[in-house]
Amino acid sequence: MSNANTVDQIVSKPYKYGFTTDIETEKIDKGINEDIVRLISLKKKEPEFLLNFRLRAYSQWLKMKEPDWAELKYPKIDYQDIIYYAAPKQNQKKASLEEVDPKLLETFDKLGIPLSEQKRIANVAVDAVFDSVSIATTYKEKLAESGVIFCSISEAVSLYPELIKRYLGSVVPITDNFFAALNSAVFSDGSFVFIPKGVKCPMDLSSYFRINSGDTGQFERTLIIAEERASVSYLEGCTAPMFDTNTLHAAVVELIALDDATIKYSTVQNWYSGNEKGVGGIYNFVTKRGECRGKRSKISWSQVETGSAITWKYPSCILKGNGSVGEFYSIALTNNFQKADTGTKMIHVGSNSRSKIVSKGISAGNSNNSYRGLVQIGPQAENARNYSQCDSMLIGDKASANTYPYIKSNQPNSNIEHEASTCRISEDQLFYLQSRGIDFEEAVSMLVSGFCSDVFNELPLEFASEADKLLALKLEGSVG
Amino acid sequence: MTKIDSTTLLEIKDLVASVEDQQILNGVNLKIKAGEIHAIMGRNGCGKSTLSKVIAGHPAYKVISGNVLFKNQNLLELEAEERARIGIFLGFQYPIEIPGVSNLEFLRVATNSRRKEIGETELDTFEFEDLVRAKLDLVQMKPTFLERSVNEGFSGGEKKRNEILQMALLNPSVAILDETDSGLDIDALRIVASGVKKLSTKSTATILITHYQRLLNEITPDYVHIMSDGKIMQTGGPELAIELEKEGYDWLNKYEEIKGDKS
């Protein structure tokens, strides 16, 4: 045969972050009840207001139903079969990195996130979260010089309880949805960022989330506040070992931007996605929402979603401030039996608010990839504008893609534009590249990168090339 | 005659091929030596483009029987990208648009895959920019072409010039140019033709697939082949093309009896 390559023969390459770290872990008993919620709060030595926050969330969660409207079919999750708190055994949070268990440092080294002074990434401060706890945050002192607070949320609870009290749950209320309520009851750790008035954060901030235990859910909680005229760029990465069971990840991220503040939040999500038969992988149910509370404030989400068996995620913006801006740039790639239902909500409240949505979905193998988005223009949002572009690319003939754009406008004086397209990788495009000496797999990833280029342009520079490599890796494989 | 002398680059023997279950090539024989320029002419649907796609390795075209040897190596066993790397080049009649992929990066990856094959060092972005800028003059392209997406929004002439730029970068042993002259105004035709002439050397061969004499006025072929019904019906010198231009393809009908004999 002169050329037996066909597009649907692409298989994904083995997941390179699939190792587990052999470390002694403190875990609590499986299951969830009021005592477990109290125990988590106790372990974290939390003030009463937070315990009450958790208990309220728990009692609300009991009354709520797991959502079933998404294009996601998965076996019922047994919430009593999950461990809600796991932490590597070490004496509390370490004052300095030298005291952190070398095995943990090694793990992050292996993941390409060196934490030690000598090797750490220049100009990016990292908060490293391992299972339920944050193990280290780099460049803390340097950031403190400009008044920026960057630490784990547990630390923030004890050091800045007033900020937590004021802002936690103010964007995603505990009753928002089933998974947000669960997170509010049992959240373990995550990052806290506070950029004071007028400060432009001197370096990019980043959190790296690592799930290590197979039977433990991860419920991280992130809170970012940018005061008047402040700005910050925050990056988030995630990986997990390969287990043949499914691990639940239910995070909540809240962003608050006051007058003229800017928050740019970028994610590369590469949780383990299960094997080529669809066994194992992370169930990723995430609530991410930003509130442009102030005038002319801006929140920009960009995400590259390549991992997880199931992704349920809609990073959203509430555009309260007049003249505020919300953006959502997304690449979601699914392969094998992965399912993703992802998109955004742009809620226009303030006048002259603007939003832009650019979504690129790529489905290969037997996967299903849905875009689901809402653009809502409230009665006060005069002159609001939205532009949405949702493109899907299908690789092979067993993958599927759906687009569900919802538009609700209560303001006649507003402007909403929506464009959508679906395409397949064409044999002629592939042949053109191959006839120039470019091999099949590289040709496919070139076409995919080209398809995603509008979104790559929005990612922080180093992140963009990392994301590009990640996409290539996910599509790479032996071809007949 | 199976023995190939050292200067033969490409030998096509009794090639029968089909696309979408329809047999298009009905036994093509052709031998091309280094330093030669061949023109293949013929009506629409006679199999000219199919021949070029089969040589380049398009997966939709199936070889039923026959052989294609490149420098004594069985070309049909190789994937399209392998053929390109060892020195087969196809200039497309309709160059494909690749949205979002920068022309510069595309050209660099392609060039490096060829360089790697022939033992030259691969070039990084900066080194490659120097190389490509030097080649731009050949086809009178502006550097801004490099920043655009591959062929996207290019005019017909720009697309064809981009093909010749690729030829210049890949330095092929055998270049097949499929109707590179179609859709070009006279100035663009001259630019393309002069580029091709400069790239045709003693050690390489060029196959021009064309409908018209006007390209052959710019580039004089050593041989002209006329294809009809999936076969080469007649071979001659440059005068054959001139005769064809004068008489039209109906003139070929006198060969129809030969076809009748075979079937």
Residue of B nearest to A450 (CA): B100
User: Which of B81, B107, B118 is most worth mutating to test chain A (most A CB atoms within 10 A of its CB)?
Assistant: B81
* Residues on chain A touching B106 (C-beta within 8 angstroms): 433, 436, 446
pLDDT of residue A320: 98
Indicate yes or no: CB of A437 within 8 angstroms of CB of B90: no
- Total domain count, chain B: 1
Residue of chain A minimizing CA distance to B86? A437
Find, in chain A, the residue whose alpha carbon is nearest to that of B171. A436
CB neighbours of A144 closer than 8 A, spacing ≥ 6?
Answer: none
Q: Is residue B202 part of a domain?
A: yes
Asked whether the beta carbons of B241 and B248 are under 8 A apart, the reply is no
Confidence of residue B261 (pLDDT cuts 50, 70, 90): very low
Cβ separation of B98 and A432 shorter than 8 Å? yes
Which of A436, A446, A451 is closest, CB to CB, to B84?
A436
DSSP 8-state symbol, A75: P
Chain A's closest residue to B56, CA to CA, is A435
Q: At A416, give phi and psi (nearest 5°).
A: -125, 125
| Chain A residues touching B78 at Cβ < 8 A | 2
Asked whether residue B80 is assigned to any structural domain, the reply reads yes
Closest CA to A360 of A281, A280, A468, A233: A468
Identify the domain containing residue B182 by its residue range. Answer: 8-96+175-262
- B76 contacts chain A (CB < 8 A): yes
Average pLDDT, chain B: 91
Least confident of A171-185, A225-239, B73-87, B109-123: A225-239
Task: Residue B14: count other Cβ atoms within 10 Å of its Cβ.
Answer: 12
The distance of Cα A354 from the centroid of its chain, to the nearest Å, equals 23
Smallest CA-to-CA distance from A346 within A368, A379, A324, A367 is with: A324
Closest partner residue to A2 among B57, B89, B96, by Cβ? B57
Q: What is the distance between the alpha carbons of residues A470 and A302, in angstroms, rounded to a whole number?
A: 15
Question: What ranges make up the beta strands (E) of A218-367?
Answer: 221-226, 231-239, 246-249, 252-257, 262-269, 281-292, 298-305, 310-313, 316-319, 325-334, 339-348, 354-363
Does a structural domain hold residue B76? yes
Q: Could you tell me if residue B106 is inside a domain?
A: no
Q: What is the largest CA-CA distance in chain B?
A: 61
B interface test, pick of A3, A362, A455, A465 with most B CB neighbours within 10 Å: A3
Q: How far is A359 from chain B (nearest CA, A)?
A: 15
Check residue A121 and give its pLDDT. Answer: 64
ipTM: 0.93
pLDDT of B1 over the 70 cut:
no
Domain with residue B78: its CATH number is 3.40.50.300
Tell me how close the Cα of A475 comes to any Cα of chain B, in angstroms: 17
Q: Is residue B169 part of a domain?
A: no
Residue reference for tokens 């006048």:
A351
Contact A446 B109 (CB under 8 A): yes
Query: Which class for B1: exposed (0-12), middle (13-18), buried (19 or more C-beta within 10 A)?
Result: exposed
Q: What is the pLDDT of residues B19-45, one digit of tens each?
A: 999 999 999 999 999 999 999 999 888
**pLDDT greater than 60 at residue B6:** no
Locate A190 and state its tokens: 């995550």
B86 vs A: CB within 8 A: no
Residue B232 predicted with pLDDT over 80: yes
The closest of A216, A218, A239, A209 to A15, measured between CA atoms, is A239
Nearest CA in chain A to B84: A437
Segment A55-86, tens digit of pLDDT: 999 999 999 999 998 888 888 899 999 999 88
pLDDT above 50 (res B48): yes
Contact B170 A436 (CB under 8 A): yes
Task: Write down the pLDDT at residue B106.
Answer: 96
Whether residue B85 lies within 8 A of chain A, CB to CB, comes out as yes
- B214 domain-assigned: yes
- pLDDT, tens digit, 9 for 90 and up, residues B156-205: 999 999 999 999 999 999 999 999 998 888 888 999 999 999 999 999 99
Residue B55, in any domain of the structure: yes
Other CB atoms within a 10 A radius of the CB of residue A194 amount to 22
Q: Which residues of chain A have pLDDT under 50?
A: 1-12, 477-480
Are A438 and B113 inside 8 Å of each other by CB? yes
Residue B104 lies in a domain: no
Number of A–B residue contacts, CB under 8 Å: 95
- Closest partner residue to B63 among A2, A428, A429, by Cβ? A2
B-chain residues near A6 (CB < 8 A): 59
CA dist A84 → A31, A434, B158 (Å): 7, 50, 61
Residue of A432, A444, A468 to mutate, testing the B interface (most B Cβ within 10 Å of its Cβ): A432
> Span B133-161, mean pLDDT?
93
Q: Does B20 touch chain A (CB under 8 A)?
A: no
